[in-house]
Amino acid sequence: MQHGGDVYTEGILKGKELIDFSSNINPLGVPKGFIDNLNEGILNITRYPDLQYRQLRADLKEYINNVEILFGDGDRSLELVHEEDFILGNGAAEIIDLTISSFKSIMIITPSFGEYYESAEKWGVDIVCVSLNEDMEYDYEAIAKNLHSVEAIIIGNPNNPNGGIIDKEKFLPIIERCEKEGKKIIIDEAFVEFTGKHKDSFIYQLKDYKSLFIIRAITKFYAMPGIRFGYGISSDGEFIDKLKEKQNPWNINAFAELAVKYVLKDRNYINKSIKWIKVEREYLKGELKKLDIIEKVFDTHGNYILCKLKNIDCDRLYEYSLERGIVIRKCNNYIGLNKSYVRFAIKDRLNNDKLLQVLKKINI
């Protein structure tokens, strides 16, 4: 299975209720701002969306430029992006696919989100893989060494499946080189809100470097995977226009527009989410380290934790957990990982404790 979140095969379609630790979705659920305004979306169904999505772009610009206020990092509005800097997609997956298809060669850091590799193979893009080091951290020297052989890099911030973030100081020489040589750096920030520190994002560098292209979505942090909305941001207007030419009209539906309008300004939801992830991330990491079946817990800035197993493989742990109503993410289909690796989503305390109780009782 390429993705997490398949609660259908062994759950819904068989009438079973499962706790899904394979899907990294905010457990606080859909923001109240969306639910309270659903009727507005229903009324909008009877007409086509604005072909240019002008209000949607304005809402996104407001979100990015006010990110320090919304996330409690400051009290000022910034001028980081403009409305024309956005490309809109039916989920981040569309933006990833569109972007990768634009190049003849690309560097993929491994292990990472499988869609990168799948899209590159589908479009016949030459792939150069550069591995994370043993601690699942970026190897900046290896990235720089292999840069000459590709037109673009795609890199997660935080990375999936381990949750590592980019060290800006070490990455800056790579950005500057790409800027000079006309290469693109695609930074997948689908999980960046979970870091709790928006300074970890590269939105602050966008206006200074046309080589940067950031991908985001409302899927993970705002718990809305069913809405299917993602977006790309770049100060390179020509590149944005080139991607738009490949898109179908009206690719964003009325409820996705509604979600962007209301959830991205829901400060109460944002504050609760940041408080939750800071507490539960440290709690679950600490408790997992105490388990006999866990050899290593990797540090994470996301809402998921990568673990290396001891004396058990991911297949056996998956079946054991499934029998007890829990779905985990086997990681052996990530390039560079084997059956010793699993990933756990971070949920609320009640469900985190249910997971821990199941893992504590396994006999190895």
Of 307, 311, 302, the residue nearest 341 (C-alpha):
307
Residue bearing the bigger pLDDT, 3 or 40: 40
- Per-residue pLDDT band for 8 (boundaries 50, 70, 90) equals low
Q: Which domains can be identified in the chain, with CATH numbers?
A: 12-29+268-360 (3.90.1150.10), 32-265 (3.40.640.10)
Model confidence at 84: pLDDT above 50: yes
The single residue listed with the structure tokens 């993602």 is: 230
On the question of pLDDT at 9 being above 80, the answer is no
* Alpha-carbon span 201 to 195, nearest angstrom: 9
Per-residue model confidence (pLDDT) at position 6: 58
In the block, residue with structure tokens 């993970």: 220
State pLDDT tens for residues 156-182: 999 999 999 999 999 999 999 999 999
- 1, pLDDT greater than 70: no
Q: How many CA atoms lie within 13 A of 114 on its CB side?
A: 11
Mean predicted lDDT score pLDDT of the chain: 95
Sheet with 126-131, strands from edge to edge, namely: 86-89, 230-233, 212-217, 184-188, 152-156, 105-110, 126-131
The answer to whether residue 233 scores a pLDDT higher than 90 is: yes
Check residue 73 and give its pLDDT: 78
- Helix intervals (H) in the chain: 32-36, 38-44, 54-65, 67-70, 92-100, 114-122, 140-146, 168-181, 237-244, 254-263, 267-288, 314-323, 349-360
pLDDT in tens, 65-74: 999 999 987 8
Q: Of 308, 283, 280, whose CA–CA distance to 294 is shortest?
A: 308
Predicted structure pTM score:
0.95
* pLDDT for residue 58 is more than 80: yes
For the residues 329-347, what does the mean pLDDT come to?
97
